[in-house]
Amino acid sequence: MTILDIIDKKRLKQELTFEEIKYVVDNFVNGNIPDYQMSALLMAMVINGMTEKETIDLTKVMIDSGDIIDLSSISGIKVDKHSTGGVGDKTTLILAPLVASCGVKVVKMSGRGLGHTGGTIDKLEAIKGFKVNLSVNEFIKQVNDIGVAITSQTGNLVPADKKIYALRDVTGTVSSIPLIATSIMSKKIASGADKIVIDVKVGNGALIKTIEEARILANLMIKIGKQYGKDVVCVLSDMNQPLGQTIGNGLEVVEAIHVLRVKGSIKLRELVITLGSIMVSLGKQIALEEAKKEIMTNLINGQAYQKFMEMVKAQNGDIDKINISFKSYSVKSKQEGYINGIDALGIGEIVRKLGGGRFHKEDEINYGVGILLEKSVGEYVKQGDKLLTVYYDEKRIDEQEILNCFMIEKERKEEKPLIYEIIE
C-alpha cells in the first residue's frame, strides 16, 4: 500500500482498513509521510467523514503510538475530567480539589491553550513556582498522598495526536467530529483514568457550534470509551458567552479561588456542582443526589478550598504571588438597555491579542493580562455604566472592538440554559 492509494480511497468515500490507518499514522510520526500528503488525507476525512469503525481504529493506533500510563498503584477508582475548550473555562482548577476533598482520586493531565481558548496548564503557571511538569512517579505519589494532581501531558503520551493536531490546526481540518473524538479519547485512555467526565462546550466560543453536533460527538466518545472499559459521561454546556467573570490566566486563578470560597459567578458554580456531582457519583459509586450533597457540603465548609491550597503547596506554588498586570482601564457602555449577549469568541480573541493566548504554539503567554466582566448577560445597563475592566501590559485594545462584543437591546431576551443535557 502507498499513501497515495489511501488518499485516493478516502477521496472516493471508501472505508479505510485498520492496517491502512496504522500505516499512515506510523509513517507520519516517523517522518516517512510528509505534511502535504497527510494534510490531503485529513482534508478528505473532514469532507467525506469517517465511519465509526475508522474512528475507533484511529483511536487505537494513536493510543499505541506512545506510552500508556499505568495508574494501578493508585488505590480506588481514578476519575478524570476534560473540557472541549471555551472562553473563561477555569472549571478544572475548582473541580479537581473539590472532588478530591470528597475522597475521590482525581488524576488530571492537562494541555496548554491554543487559539482563543485557555489551557489549564497556562492558568496554573500564573501561580509563581507552580510545578506543572510532574514525572509519572511524582504524579502517582501526589495522588496517593493528597488525592489530586494536575500535570502537563508527558512527552510520549499519544505523540501521534500531538503531531497530527499541530497539522490540523494550520490546515483548516480541526472541525471534524471523528477527529476531535479520537484526539480527546486517545489522550484520556492513555492517561489511565477509570472514569471520564467530558464537558462538551457548545456555541460561538467553542469548537462545536450546535447541540446536534455536540450530541454526535458525545455519543461517539462514549462508544470509544466502552471499547476500553471506561465509563464516559458527557455534559453539554453553553459557550455562547464567557464562563464566569474573568478571561485571562492569572485572573481566572483568582476567580477559581473565589468560587472555592463560595463567592463569584453563580453560573460557574452551577457548572462546577453539576460536573463535580457526576465525578463523585462515578468515583464513589453512589447516587447522584448523594454525591451532590457531598459536593455542596465541602464547598461550603471550606474543605474544597483547603484541598486546593494543599495541591498548590504540593506542586511548589506560591498562592500569594499570582501574576496579574498592574495596568488596567475600564470600558463603559455607550447605550442603555439589557445585555442580551456577550460574544465569547470575540472576548477570547481580544484576550489573545493582549497576549493572554497563543497565535502559534511557540508563543510566550502573558499570564497577567485579561478581562474582568463587570456585567453579565441579562443585566440592565445605563449609558456610562462600567461593562468590564481590561488588564494589559503594553498593548491596549480599541474600545469599539470591545463594545462590539456586547449585544445591548431595549427588550430583554430569554437566556440560553447553561447546561443543555447530560449524556451517559
SS3 187: helix
Asked whether 194 and 23 are in contact (CB, 8 A), the reply is no
Set 10, 78, 81, 82: catalytic member: 82
**Which is catalytic among the residues 65, 183, 186, 333?**
183
- The single residue of 60, 116, 162, 168 carrying the catalytic annotation is 168
CA 186 to CA 66: how far, in whole Å? 10
The catalytic position among 10, 78, 162, 187 is: 187
Beta bridge partners of 386: 332
**Cβ(201)–Cβ(208) under 8 Å?**
yes
- DSSP string of 346-394, one letter each residue: HHHHHHIIIIISBSSTTPPP-TT-EEEESS-TT-EE-TT-EEEEEEESS
> What are the residue ranges of helices labelled H in 106-236?
120-124, 136-146, 159-169, 177-190, 211-227
Residue 306 backbone phi and psi in degrees, to 5: -65, -35
Task: Kindly name the residue from 161, 199, 238, 343 that is annotated as catalytic.
Answer: 161
67 is an active site residue: no
Has 360 been annotated as catalytic? no
Q: Output phi, psi for 195, to 5 deg.
A: -125, 140
**Considering only CA atoms, which of 16, 17, 20, 15 is closest in space to residue 1?**
20
**Known catalytic residue at 396:** no
User: What whole-number distance in Å separates Cα of residue 372 and Cα of residue 255?
Assistant: 10
Burial per residue of 143-174, b for 16 or more beta-carbon CB atoms within 10 angstroms, e otherwise? beebbbbbbbbbeebbebbbbbbebbeebebb
DSSP 195-214: EEEEEEEESTTSSB-SHHHH
Q: Are 121 and 159 in contact (CB under 8 A)?
A: no
Count other Cβ atoms within 10 Å, centred on residue 386: 13
Which three-class secondary structure state does DSSP give residue 4? helix
- Residue pair 349/241 in contact (Cβ under 8 Å)? The answer is no
- Decide: 70 and 196 in contact? Cβ < 8 Å: no
Cell output for 381: 445597563
Give, as one character, the DSSP assignment of residue 90.
Answer: -
Neighbours of 69 (CB within 10 A): 18
Cite the active site residues.
82, 161, 168, 183, 187
